[in-house]
Structures are given as structure tokens and as C-alpha cells.
């Protein structure tokens, strides 16, 4: 199970941002994900948030439309 620190580190690695900036981006991603209703999500919205989710995990993590809700829940459950 990933921790907030690991999410931030992954964002930093994937995006080229410093850790402090990556932490701010992680908080913004969490806020964005909190607004989403997974049962009613549109295809466009899913496309929009997918890169944000991928940003939080190592680049070789397989995240697709079949399993992305699992990764969203992981982020939301471990964002403190």
C-alpha cells in the first residue's frame, strides 16, 4: 500500500518537479479526485483524470479504464 510520501516522490520523478512542488500537486490531485463520482464518470472525464492518477504511481504501473478506480481509492485512502 502506497503512502503519501511515495505518491509525492512518484509525482516528482514523473514530472520533474521538486518534492515540495510535487506535494502541492498531489494535494490538488486529491481535491480533484474527491469531486469525482466513480459511478457516473463520463468517458471524457476519465480520460482527463487518468494522467493525474498515473502521475502518482511508478511509470511502469499498468493503469487503465478497467482498474483505475482501484488506484483512485488507493490515493484517497492514503493522502494524509
Residue in 3, 60, 59, 1 with CA at minimum distance from that of residue 26: 3
Q: What is the DSSP string of 2-60?
A: --HHHHHHHHHHHH---HHHHHHHHHHHHHHHHT--TTS--HHHHHHHHHHHHHTS-TT
Quick check: 48 binds another protein (CB under 8 A)? yes
- Interaction between residue 55 and another protein (CB under 8 A): yes
- Site membership for another protein, residue 9 (CB under 8 A): no
Binding flag, residue 19, another protein (CB under 8 A): no
**44 is an interface residue for another protein by CB under 8 A:** yes
Binder among 5, 47, 67, 73 for another protein (CB under 8 A): 47
Contact positions vs another protein (CB under 8 A): 14-18, 21, 24-25, 28-29, 32, 44, 47-48, 50-52, 54-55
Amino acid at each position: 500500500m502506497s503512502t503519501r510520501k511515495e505518491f509525492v516522490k512518484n509525482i516528482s520523478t514523473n514530472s520533474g518537479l521538486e518534492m515540495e512542488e510535487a506535494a502541492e500537486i498531489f494535494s490538488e490531485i486529491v481535491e480533484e479526485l474527491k469531486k469525482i463520482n466513480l459511478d457516473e464518470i463520463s468517458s471524457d472525464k476519465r480520460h482527463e483524470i487518468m494522467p493525474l492518477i498515473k502521475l502518482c504511481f511508478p511509470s511502469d504501473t499498468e493503469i487503465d479504464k478497467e482498474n483505475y478506480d482501484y488506484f483512485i481509492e488507493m490515493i484517497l485512502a492514503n493522502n494524509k
